[in-house]
Amino acid sequence: MAQSAPTEFEYYLNETEQPFAGWDFSHLTGTGRMREFPLRWNYYVHVRERLPVVRSLLDMGTGGGEFLASLAPLPADTVATEGYEPNIPIAAARLKPLGVPVVPVKDDERLALEDARFELVINRHESYAPQEVARILKPGGTFLTQQVGGDNDCEINDWLGAPPFELADWRLEVAAEGLERAGLRIVFRDEERTKTRFYDIGAILYYLQAIPWQIPDFSVRKYEAPLREIHAHIRKHGYIDVTCSRFILTAVKVMA
């Protein structure tokens, strides 16, 4: 007996098997299936304009090294860290031609880096310990981070009936207070909530596989009924939006 053709929903299930490496969402963004609305600021510009005046740079949580490589030419003393083991060889291969070592991280509280080494530490969407950031910064050095707010993608959890994200209270004020307690002075801050737009249920499935911390127990089998409801909504309206929550901070280590 011939097999029946898969339904449209079943067709999109293969997205859960698509490979994801580094921090590269081009499988979705390159086709426009997922789009983040623009922010008031641009993280790349904030970093790029500081590079000509620094001789040492650390990129915390480099992913696959994609962003750091895009900043070349880099300061002579540039280092990257990465805590997700599958990303380490990917980042190392990409950054080796630029002379950038990748330092594995197992504990944010204990970085294998020297005291007061870096003039600039950058961090895009990576966890960090404020005291360690202060320790590795040179006096007068700058920490620049863009973070994902705890309410990011909160609608997905609501729609699926999943528990809220475990760091739902992570926001600009909390981050600023932590850095100030560590001896840093905030010189710039901004926060914005825009939207991330998905154009098919497959894009959401791929996205949730790539960010397993959002719904740690996620599987299609467990959440199939609400996923089908989201699929029906997208088919009716053409897309679905969720909250895109971001904040940016620039802090300077106070001179002794």
Instruction: Please tell me the predicted confidence (pLDDT) of residue 1.
Output: 40
Question: What is the pLDDT, as a whole number, of residue 13?
Answer: 84
Q: Is the pLDDT of residue 2 over 50?
A: no
CB 149 within 8 A of CB 192: no
User: How many whole angstroms separate alpha carbon 56 and alpha carbon 138?
Assistant: 10
Q: From the CB of residue 175, how many other CB atoms can be counted at a distance below 10 Å? A: 22
Q: CA separation (Å) from 96 to 37, 91, 107, 138?
A: 33, 8, 24, 25
Phi, psi of 90 (to 5 degrees): -65, -45
| First-to-final CA distance of the chain | 79
Residue 16's pLDDT is: 77
Written as one letter, the residue type at 220 is V
**Pairwise CA distance, residues 242 & 240, whole Å:** 7
Q: From CA 153, how far away is CA 181, in angstroms rounded?
A: 29
The tens digit of pLDDT for each residue in 29-68 reads 999 999 999 999 999 999 999 999 999 999 999 999 999 9
Q: Which of 149, 150, 147, 141 is nearest to 182 (CA)?
A: 141
pLDDT, one tens digit per residue, over 66-119 is 999 999 999 999 999 999 999 999 999 999 999 999 999 999 999 999 999 999
